[in-house]
Amino acid sequence: MATNYLIIGSGPAGITAAENIRTLDNRGKITVISEERVPMFYRPRIPEYAVGKLEIEDLMVKKMDFYDQKRIKLHLKVKAVRLDRERKFVETSDGQKYGYDKLLIATGIAPIKPPYPGSVLNGIFTMHYLFQAETIKSFVKEARHVVVVGGGLLGMDMAEELKKMGLEVDFLVRRQVFGDPFFDEYGCKLIKEEFDRIGVRVFTGTEVQTFEGVDGKLAKIMTKDGREIKSSFCFLSIGGSPSVDWLGESGLKIDKGILVDKHLQSTREGIFSAGNSAQIFDPILRKQIVQTNWFNAITQGHIAGNNIVGGKLIEYKSTTKYLKKVGTLSFNLIGLGNVLVEGGLRVYFKGANPREYILITVKEGVVVGAVVCGLPMIILKLKDTIEKQKVIPNLEKLIEQKEGALDAFLKILTYF
């Protein structure tokens, strides 16, 4: 009898898993449920779609005929609301019930609801789903000024894209650094200089106190440090959390996300999780975390697809890896990145170009994290070194040289 595979979520983890399932099981039935209007799109490029630079087809990783060819049944614009583990079905927001033999949960992240008074005023937007981006598109055409709130990766993207559209942009960052804890102090300095160069006004250490409006429309933003910013347009990007609230009575073990083992199976046989909804064991942090990025979601989806079919099991061993671009700057964050580690040592390697550097975190003689600005040719080798805990030859001598040893570090890393 053909196996009935049910996948909740059409992001990179869910669709990569579906594709791999079909490769390994040509007879199985594959169903994907998603509240999005299209499957697997480049979520990091939502800001470009929101400001009208891209059409929806440009966002899609795979065109719709791919799903027909692979016999992957899509049920879009519906949300999973309940899992009945005993009777093996998932209920959706439209009242339908979908049975399964094997289940993969890849529901991703849901944005945090704004905690600020007045956040329901017209002109205030959050964005994670495509339908939210569509509400911004028409608003952008009439706006001249925008306040972007939140110094994370999405907030940084929106500040840059809205500036490219010709808007005046005030960027409010609650902490003194961007993308905490991803970027180091020197990287944040470069990012601030880049935003200055492109004309984005950045205010660090600034947090919203309240939104005030007239006739239900946003008129101004009051901050906790006493600023009054007049604007009818505000974009909020204040973080997110794994979208697992609907699983509260499912019997699955949930912490921040769904707790899974090294094969991405939950505490219940036949139920797997991957992507931003899964809490996996990170080989560098040596604890279970949620890896919230595209690269890890695809890797997890591929492995989950293999393991859910029931062939030779594959272990997930990847550490966190992010790619972030700001203007002409390009950053890669690997492993612990900029995270301060007890007993660890953080070392910069810089060269003649001030916009190229490597920051490594070393503990017990091995590199456990890195922030790399520029230098794309070294990323895969450094990621492999970190994940496999390889000892870099003469690392102690390079550390003693402190800053300025970038060329020597690159040479050793390339050839060892």
Q: Which residue in 71, 69, 57, 79 sits closest to 10, CA to CA?
A: 79
User: Are 255 and 174 members of one domain?
Assistant: no
Match 């966002």 to its residue by tokens: 59
CATH number at residue 203: 3.50.50.60
Structural domain contains residue 168: yes
User: Are 81 and 138 members of one domain?
Assistant: no
User: Are 128 and 228 members of one domain?
Assistant: yes
Residue-by-residue pLDDT tens, the chain, 416 positions: 799 999 999 999 999 999 999 999 999 999 999 999 899 988 777 778 878 888 888 889 999 999 999 999 999 999 999 999 999 999 999 999 999 999 999 999 888 888 999 999 999 988 777 777 777 877 887 889 999 999 988 899 889 989 988 899 999 999 888 887 778 889 999 999 999 999 999 999 999 999 999 999 999 999 999 999 999 999 998 888 999 999 999 999 999 999 999 999 999 999 999 999 999 998 887 889 998 888 899 999 999 999 999 989 999 988 888 888 999 999 999 887 766 667 778 889 998 899 999 999 888 888 888 999 999 999 999 999 998 888 888 888 777 775 558 888 888 888 77
Structural domain contains residue 16: yes
User: Are 165 and 83 members of one domain?
Assistant: no
Phi, psi torsion values for 91, nearest 5 degrees = -95, 140
Structural domain contains residue 139: yes
Burial class of 225 by CB neighbour count within 10 A (0 to 12, 13 to 18, 19+): exposed
Q: Which residue in 66, 108, 100 sits closest to 84, CA to CA?
A: 100
Structural domain contains residue 68: yes
Buried-exposed string 11-42: b where 16+ CB fall within 10 A, e elsewhere: bbbbbbbbbbbbeebeebebbbbbbbebbbbe
Domain boundary (265, 282, 309) is at 309
Domain boundary (238, 255, 288) is at 238
User: Are 265 and 284 members of one domain?
Assistant: yes
User: Are 129 and 105 members of one domain?
Assistant: no
Domain boundary (238, 271, 294) is at 238
User: Are 24 and 95 members of one domain?
Assistant: yes
User: Are 129 and 234 members of one domain?
Assistant: yes
Structural domain contains residue 408: yes
User: Are 9 and 103 members of one domain?
Assistant: yes
Residue 339, pLDDT score: 67
User: Are 132 and 106 members of one domain?
Assistant: no
Structural domain contains residue 118: no
Residue 403, pLDDT score: 55
User: Are 140 and 285 members of one domain?
Assistant: no
Its domain, for residue 248, covers 4-110+241-309
- Count of domains forming the chain: 3
Q: Which residue in 18, 170, 5, 182 sits closest to 98, CA to CA?
A: 5
Structural domain contains residue 317: no
Residue 305, pLDDT score: 98
Structural domain contains residue 252: yes
Percent of the chain as helix, strand, coil, to the nearest 5: 30, 30, 40
Q: Tell me the whole-structure pTM to 2 decimals.
A: 0.89
Residue 402, pLDDT score: 58
User: Are 195 and 250 members of one domain?
Assistant: no
